Amino acid sequence: MARAGRGVGRRVIAAGRPIPRLRGIDGWRGVPIQAVVEPLVAVDDVGGRVRQDPQYHARGLPGTIPACLVREGIAERLEAAAASLADGLTLVVWDGYRSLETQAALYDGFVASLEAQHPDWPRERLEREAARYVTPPLTRPESPPPHLTGGAVDLTLGDGDGRPLDLGTPFDAFVPEAGALALEDRPGGARDRRRALFWAMAGQGFTVYAEEWWHFDLGDQFWGVVRERPARYAAADPPA
Residue 177 lies inside a defined structural domain of this protein: yes
Number of domains in the chain: 1
Domain assignment of residue 154, yes or no: yes
**Orientation of helix 189-202 relative to helix 72-83, angle to 10°:** 130
Report residue 147 CA to chain centroid gap: 8
The torsion defined by the Cα of 71, 73, 78 and 83, in degrees rounded to 10, comes to 150
Identify any residues that bridge with 164 across adjacent strands, giving them in sequence order. 158
Domain presence at residue 222 = yes
Statement: residue 169 has pLDDT above 90:
yes
Whether residue 123 is contained in a domain is answered as no
Residue 54 falls inside a structural domain: yes
pLDDT for position 15: 64
Report the alpha-carbon distance of residue 102 to residue 57 in Å, rounded: 10
Q: For residue 182, is it within any domain?
A: yes
Residue 88 has pLDDT above 90, yes or no: yes
For residue 14, the model assigns a pLDDT of: 56
Q: Would you say 219 and 227 are in contact if contact means Cβ atoms under 8 Å apart?
A: no
How far apart CA 204 and CA 7 sit, in angstroms, is 7
Domain range for residue 75?
28-97+149-227
pLDDT tens, residue by residue, 33-65: 999 999 999 999 998 999 999 999 999 999 999
pTM score, whole prediction: 0.91
Residue 207 belongs to domain with CATH number:
3.30.1380.10
pLDDT of residue 238: 85
- The predicted structure's pLDDT at residue 10: 46
**What would the pLDDT profile of 2-42 be if each residue is shown by its tens digit?**
443 444 334 544 567 999 999 999 999 999 999 999 999 99
Q: Is residue 166 part of a domain?
A: yes
Residue 233 lies in a domain: no
Mean pLDDT for all residues in the chain: 92
